[in-house]
């Protein structure tokens, strides 16, 4: 038997012990790979996704990697702890530290390779599912599955060294101990933690400071970093210090503490406060990131409403525009190149502002109005009155009041009574149709602008030419002489782009949420072995099955929902900042929906894990 064979047999013959480690590693790889697949997706590489979104995603990928390191480190050290006895035996048999290291490294490489393979396979399957489901949710074309060479390379290139490095690192756990304590294994009771008053106060200060700043301070990059740091430190101290105080208080209340199983779960929480603090901390932060990302992007999406224009493209040229003819031919050329049958209309209209906010409006004569919308014929327009096509409120401003619009003309104001207010006609501006006499009256002293409208079939697919035309006429930012609008671009900006962002937000959210969930899972099932022993001896002295289930339920519920609660609070503050500073209007509605969604998921997860955990306990303790 060679040494690699020994390592291999170790794994294959004791698969159960390695299973948790293997699964959690696979999970980390899977998430990383899925995300990499997404980032390097050809459709997104060539698409219109802007640089910031991309940088954000690359950043998120590295965050995932950092969490993978933590995750794998956590699993491997928990796993090695359960095998201390084995290492003790090997040491007694004369295995040198070098050989032990080789053994662990080999094992880790085997498991690492296996989990990279499973992670990649699982990631591919899940990515397909997620792409399909995601595109269904956000109403866009499903992303195609592709051969992700880059993602593959990065995943393998990053995780294989990680497994090797981590196994070197974890060896310190074994080296630092005497053979005797290795042989005795992991039964080494921990001391009860003593809370420190200064640290507790510091924790409250940090948490309160973070929240307070989020409520009242002006937000720039500096204060955002301060708030984040405060909250993160405060969260950690909250769990490691404040929770001890709460538990101490509970203990001091003897009536409560000495009632039924309370004694068991409170003392257990106290006993594991250190382990729990780390776990709760990570889960809280990760969940808060997930909730905030999803909540923000959900808000972003619900902010946009599509306005349906009658025309596929609109082009408005002022009298100062010298390139009008050139631009018009350019548009026509584009259609011809793509063999698009189009219909062109041309109107002379007045562009002016209205009301105190000077919101732009296009004034059309009744004659032209009928050309655009033949239904106008049925309603006779009274002299001096107008029909308005637009929205009464925009971006929080009231544009129209009391069925009157105040036109801000060049040198005077003019009030026009509105006969009716209808849905918007055009996407460039709101439209006011007035009778011929009024139009002629307004024409004096106001410049006339030329409005071109184009109609053709199959609009949403014409993003390409719309973009080129837009670049040609408007340029990078703004052209004072001309306006241009296209349904395809509108649609892209108001539906597809927010959808894509929401999709990415959901993706990140769910991935982080899954990561938090798997931390919990791993924690529960590494402790299961000890818990079973504990309950077994408790059963001998008369703990009934019902009491055991109750106790386990309480412990699990705390594990699952305490970090969740703090994450909700933190998300609330984060969203509040966004609402105040980011100009988002309905953050809380989408925030609440997001959190409810995650709560539903968490509940489902809790129910599933709980039933399998308790089933396992029952089978072992009360056969």
Partner 1 sequence: MADVLQVQDLNKIYDGKATFQALTNITFNVEKGEFIGVMGPSGSGKTTLLNLISTIDRPTSGQVIVNGEEPHKLKKGKLAEFRRKELGFVFQDFNLLDTLTLEENIMLPLTLERVDSGGIDKKVQAITQKLGIDSILNKRTYEVSGGQKQRTAIARAIIHQPSLLLADEPTGNLDSKSSKDVMQTLQMINEKDKTTMLMVTHDPSAASYCDRVIFIKDGKLYNEVYKGMNQKVFFQQILDVLSMLGGDSDDLSTVRL
Instruction: Return d(Cα 599, Cα 593) in angstroms, integer.
Output: 10
Among 49, 205, 414, 539, binds partner 1 (CB under 8 A): 539
Residue 241 and residue 196 in contact, taking contact as beta carbons nearer than 8 Å: yes
For residue 391, state whether it binds partner 1 (rule: CB under 8 A). no
**Least spacing, CB of residue 533 vs partner 1, in Å:** 9
Given the complex with partner 1, which of 531 and 570 has the nearer CB atom?
531
Judged by CB under 8 A, the stretch of 52-60, 85-93, 208-216, 533-541 that binds partner 1 is: 533-541
Q: In angstroms, give the least distance from the CB of 177 to partner 1.
A: 17
The Cα 123–Cα 82 span in angstroms is 29
* Minimum separation from the CB atom of position 83 to partner 1 (A): 21
Site membership for partner 1, residue 98 (CB under 8 A): no
Query: Please, are residues 515 and 577 in contact by the beta-carbon 8 Å criterion?
Result: no
- Applying CB under 8 A, among 274, 371, 534, 580 the residue interacting with partner 1 is 534
Least separation in angstroms between residue 254's CB and partner 1 is: 4
Query: Exposed, middle or buried by CB within 10 Å (0-12, 13-18, 19+), for 512?
Result: buried
Of 159, 158, 142, 35, which Cα lies nearest the Cα of 512? 35
Cα–Cα dist 490/554, whole Å: 52
Residues 327-386, interacting with partner 1 (CB under 8 A)? none
Q: Contact with partner 1 (CB under 8 A): which of 152, 247, 270, 473?
A: 270
Q: Beta strand pairing status for 385-389 and 413-422?
A: parallel
- State yes or no: residue 52 binds partner 1 (CB under 8 A): no
Residues 208-267 that bind partner 1 (CB under 8 A): 254-255, 258-264, 267
SS3 11: helix
Question: Shortest Cβ distance from residue 258 to partner 1 (Å)?
Answer: 5
Binding map of partner 1 across residues 445-474, x = CB under 8 A, - = no contact: ------------------------------
Nearest to 116 by CA among 158, 146, 58: 158
How far apart, in whole angstroms, are the C-alpha atoms of residue 142 and residue 87? 51
Task: At 512, give phi and psi (nearest 5°).
Answer: -65, -35
Q: How far is the CB of 247 from partner 1 (least distance, A)?
A: 12
Using CB under 8 A, pick the residue from 52, 180, 221, 541 that binds partner 1.
Answer: 541
**Can you read off the two tokens belonging to residue 90?**
């090997």
Of 180 and 541, which has the nearer Cβ to partner 1?
541
Residue span 545-584 as binding mask against partner 1, x where in contact by CB under 8 A, dash where not = xxx-------------------------------------
DSSP helix, strand, coil percent of the chain (3-state; round to 5): 70, 10, 20
What CA–CA distance (Å, rounded) separates 213 from 215?
5
Rank residues 380 and 623 by Cβ distance to partner 1 and give the closer one. Answer: 623
**Where would I find the H helices in 253-376?**
254-257, 262-271, 273-303, 324-337, 366-372
Say how many residues touch partner 1, by CB under 8 A: 30
Q: Does 271 bind partner 1 (CB under 8 A)?
A: yes
Q: Rank residues 270 and 566 by Cβ distance to partner 1 and give the closer one.
A: 270
Minimum CB separation from partner 1 for residue 145, in Å? 50
* Cβ-based burial of 259 (10 A; exposed 0-12, middle 13-18, buried ≥19): exposed
Give me 58's structure tokens.
Answer: 């690359």
Contacts of 195 (CB under 8 A, 6+ apart): 241, 242, 244, 245, 248
Residues 6+ apart with CB under 8 A from 211: 231, 573
- Over the window 178 to 207, marking each residue x when it contacts partner 1 by CB under 8 A and - when it does not, the resulting string is -----------xxxx---------------
Residue of the chain from 537, 586, 589, 611 that contacts partner 1 (CB under 8 A): 537
Q: Least distance in Å: CB of 277 to partner 1?
A: 16
544 binds partner 1, rule: CB under 8 A: yes
Q: Residue 239 carries which DSSP code?
A: I
Which CB sits closer to partner 1, 128 or 534? 534
**Residue 279: CB minimum distance to partner 1, A:** 17
385 or 534, CB closer to partner 1?
A: 534
Task: Burial-class residue 464 by CB neighbours within 10 Å (0-12, 13-18, 19+).
Answer: exposed
Specify the residue, 259 or 346, whose C-beta has the smaller distance to partner 1. 259
* Minimal distance, residue 203 CB to partner 1, in Å: 24
Q: Closest CB to partner 1 among 30 and 559?
A: 559
Q: In terms of CB distance, is 244 or 566 closer to partner 1? A: 244
Least CB distance to partner 1 at residue 60 (A): 39
State the Cα–Cα distance between residues 1 and 7, nearest whole angstrom. 10
Residues within the interface to partner 1 (CB under 8 A): 189-192, 254-255, 258-264, 267-268, 270-271, 534, 537-547, 622
């Amino acid at each position: 038997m060679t040494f690699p064979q020994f390592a291999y047999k170790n794994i294959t013959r004791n698969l159960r012990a390695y299973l948790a480690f293997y699964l959690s590693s696979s999970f980390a790889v899977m998430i990383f790979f899925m995300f990499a697949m997404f980032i390097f997706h050809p459709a997104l590489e060539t698409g219109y996704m802007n640089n910031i979104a991309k940088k954000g995603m690359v950043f998120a990928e590295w965050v995932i990697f950092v969490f993978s390191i933590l995750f794998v480190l956590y699993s491997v050290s928990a796993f090695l702890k359960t095998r201390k006895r084995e290492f003790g035996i090997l040491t007694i048999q004369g295995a040198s530290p070098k050989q032990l290291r080789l053994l662990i490294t080999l094992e880790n490489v085997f498991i690492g390779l296996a989990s990279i393979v499973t992670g990649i396979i699982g990631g591919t399957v899940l990515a397909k599912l997620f792409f399909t489901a995601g595109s269904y949710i956000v109403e866009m074309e499903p992303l195609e599955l592709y051969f992700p060479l880059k993602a593959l390379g990065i995943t393998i290139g990053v995780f294989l060294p990680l497994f090797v490095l981590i196994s070197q690192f974890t060896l310190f756990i074994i080296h630092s101990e005497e053979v005797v304590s290795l042989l005795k294994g992991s039964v080494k009771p921990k001391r009860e933690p003593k809370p420190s008053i200064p640290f507790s106060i510091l924790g409250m200060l940090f948490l309160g400071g973070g929240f307070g700043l989020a409520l009242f301070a002006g937000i720039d990059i500096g204060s955002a970093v301060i708030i984040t740091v405060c909250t993160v430190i405060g969260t950690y101290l909250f769990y490691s210090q404040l929770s001890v105080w709460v538990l101490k208080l509970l203990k001091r209340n003897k009536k409560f503490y000495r009632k039924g199983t309370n004694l068991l779960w409170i003392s257990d929480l106290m006993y594991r406060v250190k382990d729990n603090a780390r776990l709760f901390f990570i889960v809280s932060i990760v969940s808060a990131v997930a909730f905030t990302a999803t909540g923000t992007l959900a808000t972003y999406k619900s902010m946009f409403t599509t306005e349906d224009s009658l025309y596929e493209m609109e082009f408005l040229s002022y009298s100062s525009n010298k390139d009008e003819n050139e631009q018009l031919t350019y548009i026509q050329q584009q259609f011809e190149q793509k063999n698009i049958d189009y219909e062109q209309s041309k109107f002379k209209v007045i562009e002016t502002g209205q009301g105190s906010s000077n919101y732009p409006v296009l004034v059309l004569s009744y004659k032209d109005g009928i050309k655009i919308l033949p239904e106008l014929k049925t309603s006779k327009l009274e002299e001096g009155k107008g029909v308005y096509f637009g929205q009464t409120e925009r971006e929080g401003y009231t544009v129209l009041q009391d069925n009157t619009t105040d036109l801000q003309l060049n040198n005077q104001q003019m009030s026009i009574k509105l006969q009716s207010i209808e849905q918007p006609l055009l996407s460039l501006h709101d439209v006011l149709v007035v009778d011929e006499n009024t139009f002629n009256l307004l024409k004096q002293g106001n410049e006339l602008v030329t409005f071109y409208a184009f109609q053709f079939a199959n609009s949403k697919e014409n993003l390409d030419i719309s973009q080129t035309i837009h670049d040609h006429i408007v340029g990078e930012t703004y052209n004072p002489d001309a306006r241009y609008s296209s349904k395809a671009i509108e649609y892209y900006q108001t539906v597809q782009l927010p959808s894509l962002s929401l999709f990415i937000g959901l993706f990140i959210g769910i991935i982080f949420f899954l990561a938090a969930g798997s931390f919990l899972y791993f924690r529960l099932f590494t402790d299961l072995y000890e818990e079973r022993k504990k309950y077994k001896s408790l059963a001998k002295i008369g703990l009934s099955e019902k009491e055991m289930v109750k106790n386990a339920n309480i412990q699990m519920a705390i594990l699952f929902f305490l970090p969740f609660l703090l994450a909700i609070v933190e998300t609330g503050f984060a969203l509040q900042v966004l609402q105040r500073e980011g100009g988002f209007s309905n953050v809380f509605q989408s925030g609440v929906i997001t959190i409810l969604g995650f709560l539903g998921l968490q509940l489902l997860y809790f129910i599933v894990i709980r039933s399998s955990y308790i089933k396992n306990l029952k089978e072992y303790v009360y056969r």
